[in-house]
Amino acid sequence: MKQRNKLSLIALTLGIILVMVGCGSNNNEAKDSTKLQVVTTFYPMYDFARNVTGDQAEVSVLMKAGTEPHDYEPSAKDIAKIADSDVFVYNSEEMETWVASVLKNVDTKKTVVIDASKEIKLLDGAEDHDHDEEGHDDHSHAHDPHVWLDPVLAQEEVNAIKAGVIKADPANKVMYEKNADAYNEKLEALNQKFVNGLKDAENRTFVTQHSAFAYLANRYDLKQVAIAGLSPDQEPSPAKLAELNDFVKDNDVKVIYFEETASPKIARTLANETGAALEVLSPIEGITKEEQDKGVDYIRVMESNLAALQKSIK
């Protein structure tokens, strides 16, 4: 892991050098100069920012759908895009671990930088997988970054984005506040759907491949039992897998959840061994342009997550 990080840092440094040499000639994408240029890291940040800014900004996203955010490293072009933006939005340095290095080369007097979860107390990275007792820790996150999967904390992220956008464009303050308030009303309605949909359940435990749902579990008094850690490509030890196999059988678990952007191999193995069904529980880290064109967004996917959870939370 240390060697990989060192190589990534070298690549990042080379990318920055390339940007310094060539960003003037390589960053000629068509822009509407009358609109605020907002660059976001991955889909939830994009959707939140888009709802806050409305038609007043051009909002773009760095990570393409299908990209695993935990593994993403910015290209020279990505770094140039951040440096040229009016506003840069990211979730947290726990998720986008590369941000600190990039920001050393960004003029923060020109670009307003928004850490969307800055005011949120993050869970410790080990708090949400207390079944992991085989020394199989996830070293990539000291804290759990998946705050956006709690609709209440999502509202706090929207408020942070609103404040940053207003700092960049104070002339449109009233519009941004109105947009943020309207979107937060939708997020609160989503929260109430989760409250009402899960409140009477007697079984409140769910098994998921990726340990991404601790904030959601805490909000609605659920218990997440994760196969892997905070990074979805982490594989459990044989002892951990045997322990989970026993847990699923002993607790009559009917559904095991996996996500679209990571291999379901381990979840499928566990499901095959225990007779449980497989269902998608999405961390919403990447939604394709085609899906967006069909009306799929953060709220729609969260509603699908609720319907999926209700198959095991009964």
Tens of pLDDT, residue by residue over 258-273, are 887 666 788 888 889 9
Is 133 part of any domain?
no
How many whole angstroms separate alpha carbon 88 and alpha carbon 111? Answer: 7
| Predicted pLDDT of residue 11 | 53
**Two structure tokens written together for 5:** 């990080």
List phi, psi (to 5°) of 112: -80, 125
Parallel/antiparallel/unpaired status of strands 223-226 and 205-208: parallel
Cβ neighbours of 296 (radius 10 Å)? 15
- Regarding whether 112 and 8 lie in a shared domain, the answer is yes
Q: How many CB atoms lie within 10 A of CB 163?
A: 16
Question: Of the residues 152, 167, 187, which one is the last residue of a structural domain?
Answer: 187
Enumerate residues 6+ apart whose C-beta is below 8 A from 71: 231, 233
Indicate the pTM of the whole model: 0.85
Question: Are 103 and 182 found together in one domain?
Answer: yes
- Dist CA 293 CA 111 (whole Å): 29
Are residue 109 and residue 217 in the same domain, yes or no? no
Q: Point out the residues of the chain with pLDDT beneath 70.
A: 1-32, 126-141, 229-234, 261-263
Amino acid letter for position 8? S
pLDDT tens-digit readout, 20-41: 444 443 444 455 678 999 999 9
15 by Cβ neighbours in 10 Å (0-12 / 13-18 / 19+) ranks as buried
Verify that 178 and 225 share a domain, yes or no: no
| Residue 131 within a domain | no
Are 240 and 136 within 8 A, CB to CB? yes
Shared-domain flag, residues 42 and 159: yes
Residue whose pair of structure tokens reads 């107390």 in the numeric block: 121
CA geometry: angle 43, 48, 50, nearest 5 deg: 90
Range of the domain at 13: 2-125+140-187
In this structure, are 147 and 24 located in the same domain?
Answer: yes
150 and 73, same domain (yes or no): yes
Task: Please report whether residue 130 resides in a domain.
Answer: no
Select from 120, 77, 114 the least CA-distant residue to 99: 114
Number of Cβ within 10 Å of residue 90's Cβ equals: 23
CB distance 209 to 227 below 8 Å: yes
Distance CA(158)–CA(166), nearest Å, equals 12
Q: Are residues 183 and 249 in the same domain?
A: no
Within 8 A by CB and 6+ apart from 279, the residues are 255, 256, 257, 258, 308, 311, 312
Distance CA 270, CA 242 (A): 9
Specify the pLDDT at position 180: 98
Q: Are residues 90 and 164 in the same domain?
A: yes
The two tokens of residue 80 are 């140039």
221 and 156 in a common domain: no
Torsional sign, CA 140, 141, 144, 148: negative
| 157, containing H or E segment | helix 151-168
Same domain, 155 and 219: no
162 and 230 share one domain? no
Per-residue confidence (pLDDT) for residue 161, from 0 to 100? 98
Decide if 193 is inside a domain. no
- 155 falls within a domain: yes
Q: What is the CATH number of the domain that holds 300?
A: 3.40.50.1980
- Residue 97 domain-assigned? yes
In the chain, the DSSP E strands lie at 36-40, 57-61, 87-90, 112-115, 205-208, 223-226, 255-258, 277-280
Strand order in the sheet with 277-280: 223-226, 205-208, 255-258, 277-280
Please count the CA atoms within 13 angstroms of the CA of 161 that sit on its side-chain side.
Answer: 36
pLDDT, residue 7, reads: 46
CB burial of residue 152 (10 Å; 0-12, 13-18, 19+)? middle
Q: How many domains does the chain have?
A: 2
* Amino acid type, 270: L
Tokens of 130: 């207390």
- Structure confidence at residue 128 (pLDDT): 40
| Residue 314 within any structural domain of the chain | no
Residue 85 lies in a domain: yes
